[in-house]
Chain A
Amino acid sequence: MSPTILTIYAMICPVVVAVVLFVLVRAFLGEWQKARAEGRTII
């Protein structure tokens, strides 16, 4: 198997993880702001 494909295989997961992390942080911040605006704890 070519080194290029193997390199993509090795590096694709950290990229996907970064996207998931972004989605989670953005959702969390939204929920935190909403909870603050409503005067309650986030959970």
Chain B
Amino acid sequence: MQLNSLGTPLILSLMLFFFGGTFLLSLTIGRKRENADNYMTAGNQVGFGISAASMTATWIWAASLYASATSGYTYGISGPIHYGLWGALMILFIYPFGRRIRSLAPEAHTLAEILHARHGRSSQLILAGSNVLGSLLSLTSNFIAGGALIAMLSPLSFSAGILMIATGVLLYTLWSGVRASILTDFIQVCAMLGAVVIIVPAVFFAAGGPEIFVSGAVNLTASQQDFFSSEAFFNQGAPYIAAVLAYAIGNQTIAQRLFAVREDKIKQTFVTATIGYGATVIGVGVMGVLALYLGIDPANGDTNNLIPQLASIYLGPVLLCVFFVMIIGSLASTADSDLAAMSSIVMTDIYGRNIAGEGDADPRKMLLIGRMTMIVASGAALFFASAQFNILELLVLVGAIWGALVFPVIASFYWSRVSNRAFTVSVLAALAAFFPVRFGWIALEGGVAVVTDILGVIGVGVIAGLMIFGFLGARAGIIGGVVVAAAVAPFAVGFLHLYPVLTASLLAYAVSMILCVALSFANDHHFDFDAIGRKTGSFDKVAS
């Protein structure tokens, strides 16, 4: 099939238009003397429209668009749902925890800062370290997606592509931090959502419209034609539920928007972002289903090429430009959030709460540190992107670290008996259980398989219990978790170990919960939650 492409001058013009526009927009909010707190939280008073747009834009990244299409291509018509629906619902499920976190620490800058106030340095640094690693990998992944797209649609090289993307994102984020990130997210989400509204129907009808589903049905297996495919659920949906809950809780980019939005607009923001994310990602994922019906083989065997391929086959030059802006918008909005997140962590958790010490942090020095962090992080991400590391494998690892953190983090915000020892030991033990299973260092057979299956069932109960707990409270959460685990057990024991990726994630939840609960019951000291509000908060007020 004929692949359309965009020439070098057109690609350069589009990049100039996109990044030039976002840079000019960021200038409208630029201040000669930035405020360190606002650089990290945008003043905690951002309205619904910008916050919801920013939450949506941050949660949608280039990899999620590609992965949803891959899921559609691999698992058929239920594939995009098993990617997009669960990812969307996780935004909704963390909303009650977000409200609790804001009520405990209204002026905090990072989740790790709250853990510092709650437990101390080791817990803080576990979360902060995993956040920096996660954001760096996410940044790298977005650069790679941009570089690959530019290389596919133009004569420009991959290296030139990643350099342009990195420079463009850094240009508008460097001076105003999260304020610029959040404001430009609005424009980027408009580009992304607007493109989905136009491009998905355009590709659908250009490829043949409803007739595709008749003529192409022979290309699908029975499982791929099934809306309720168990294969899609166990291979894509279930591991994703476990991973995304962890991402939502552990990810500083989401926490940063939680601290930025006006407290009375948190619910609206999360609900709108849930719908926006779900519809966008499932909508783009349907393009993978279309590719399956059309019998298209992904270029170079890489399913990440499916969306660009469909676009370049079925879209003319104008819509191809719109498509290009959609992907650039998705990756730039997440990349600027990653830069803002990393700078906030280094400013707050490394310098503000540890190196400078209580009350001695210099806001001007913090800003310099934040900006230097962005520059260094961009350089590191460019290096990793050039080296073509397997970023998605590394991101799975970060997801596992966050999976081990979910229960201890949430319990720490609600249960006064959780201690620093309970937190740290439970997280490290959960990671020790995760790695051998995830990487196949131990064979899941015989007695080991029975143990991992039972722990996996407990892990399912923990995830269900946490979701119910967020909305209905502790009693309902515990009962719900036990009921779900009991209901799943007869089917899962003897079966779960056949899915090692899923088993490993569930083990992390189960082990961290068991140890955290056991060690907390052994602790008689009750923490005063009011202390968190006193220990977190403004750096600028203290300095002035």
Contacts and interface: CB of A to CB of B under 8 A. Distances in A.
Given A1-B77, A14-B200, A41 B29 contact: yes
Most buried by B among A6, A21, A24, A42: A24
A43 B29 CA distance: 7
Interface in A1-43: 1, 3-4, 6-7, 9-11, 13-14, 16-18, 20-21, 23-31, 41-43
Contact of A28 (B50, B179, B227, B276): B50
Interface in B252-306: 272, 275-276, 278-280, 282-283, 286, 289-290
Which secondary structure dominates chain B's binding surface? helix
Which secondary structure dominates chain A's binding surface? helix
B428 interface: no
B77 A11 contact: no
Given A7-B210, A10-B200, A31-B47, A25 B283 contact: no
Contact of A13 (B50, B56, B200, B272): B200
Most buried by B among A3, A4, A20, A26: A20
Contacts of A16: 275, 278-279, 283
Contacts of B204: 10-11
Contacts of A24: 49, 52-53, 56, 186, 189-190, 193, 272, 276
B524 interface: no
B213 A7 contact: yes
B227 A30 contact: no
Contact of A9 (B28, B275, B286): B286
Nearest to B196: A17
Interface string B118-162: 000000000000000000000000000000000000000000000
Interface string B213-246: 1100000000001010000000000000000000
Contact of B276 (A7, A10, A20): A20
A27 B49 contact: yes
A6 B209 CA distance: 10
B448 interface: no
B177 to A, nearest CB: 11
Interface in B490-523: none
Given A24-B52, A24-B53, 11 more contacts: A1-B77, A1-B225, A9-B77, A13-B282, A13-B286, A14-B196, A14-B198, A20-B56, A21-B190, A23-B52, A28-B53
28 contacts: A4-B210, A7-B210, A7-B213, A9-B77, A11-B201, A13-B196, A13-B279, A13-B286, A16-B279, A17-B196, A17-B197, A18-B193, A18-B197, A20-B193, A20-B272, A20-B279, A21-B194, A24-B49, A24-B52, A24-B186, A25-B49, A27-B49, A27-B52, A28-B186, A29-B49, A31-B48, A42-B50, A43-B182
Interface of B: 28-29, 42-43, 46-50, 52-53, 56, 77, 179, 182-183, 186, 189-190, 193-194, 196-198, 200-201, 204, 209-211, 213-214, 225, 227, 272, 275-276, 278-280, 282-283, 286, 289-290
